[in-house]
Amino acid sequence: MQPIIQIYVAAVVIAFLSSLLSFRLDLSAHLKTFSLLLALTVLTELTADILNYKRINNWWLYNLFMLIEFPAYAWFYLQVIRKKRLRRILWFFLLIFPIFWAALIWKSGLRNWNGAIITVGSFFSVLFALMYYHRIITSPDILTLRTLPEFWIATGMLIFYLGSFAFFGMMNFILKHPEVAARLITIYQILDILMYCLFSYGFLCRIMSTKRSLSP
């Protein structure tokens, strides 16, 4: 395994372990759900690495993962966004995305990479993050961003999915040209690591704020 991949897997595991605090601190249900998603991410990444090590095609695993990942994000935002019009977008995505996924997988096959799925998923993930920012701005209470797990999670998603947008869309092309892939993959791995670090911080900032409020 390449060092950058090792760091990436470590970041995902750390994010998952940090998210377990949400159960200990009895945080909101959507944060607990997000923790479960991180557990699934860890399992997926480890399995994908094992399959890759054994030279077995692992695209089917990522394709299946995306079917859970993006609707899980939408579900997460559905718990924190209150505005009806924005909630309608989330419900629309929750209903349409699985159909869209099934149609594309049926067309291109489960064992092949389909850039359209992740491109659409990334686009909506960025949109959801922006919708959440809108909620922060329009909230009657002034929310302290520093200790707001949802903000850090949304920020992680915004940076990663916005930064990787071009990369995911051209994934098939990039993979056919290893000389391009070799240069680019590191950048996107760094963005991925950054996203999981922000997720970790999102959960850890909660425990830090709890400790601060308990201290005399």
Partner 1 sequence: MSDNEYKEILITLIACTVLFLVLAAIILLFLYLYQRRRFIQQQEVNELQQQFKEQSLKAQLEIQEQTFLAISQEIHDNVGQILSLAKVQINILHETERFDKPLLEATRDNIGKAMADLRDLAGSLNSDRLRNNSVHDTLFREADRINRTGTILAGVQVEGEPRELEPRKKLILCRILQECIQNCIKHAEASRISILCQYQRDAIHVLIEDNGKGFDPETVLQNGNGQGLSNIQTRVRLTGGTHHIHSLPQEGTRIQLTIPYE
164 is an interface residue for partner 1 by CB under 8 A: yes
- Asked whether the beta carbons of 165 and 121 are under 8 A apart, the reply is no
DSSP output for 95-131: HHHHHHHHHHHHHH-TTS--HHHHHHHHHHHHHHHHH
What span, in angstroms and rounded, lies between the C-alpha atoms of 122 and 161? 5
- Asked whether the beta carbons of 51 and 58 are under 8 A apart, the reply is yes
Pick the binder of partner 1 from 66, 155, 199, 205 (CB under 8 A). 155
Burial (Cβ within 10 Å: 0-12, 13-18, ≥19) of residue 154: buried
Part of the chain binding partner 1 (CB under 8 A), chosen from 17-25, 54-62, 85-93, 137-145: 137-145
Pick the binder of partner 1 from 1, 46, 96, 166 (CB under 8 A). 166
175 is an interface residue for partner 1 by CB under 8 A: no
Question: Which positions from 185 to 204 touch partner 1 by CB under 8 A, shown as an x/- string?
Answer: --x-----------------
DSSP state of 140: S
179 is an interface residue for partner 1 by CB under 8 A: yes
142 is an interface residue for partner 1 by CB under 8 A: yes
103 is an interface residue for partner 1 by CB under 8 A: no
Residues that bind partner 1 (CB under 8 A): 130, 133, 136-137, 142-143, 145, 155, 158-159, 162-167, 170, 173-174, 177, 179-180, 183-184, 187
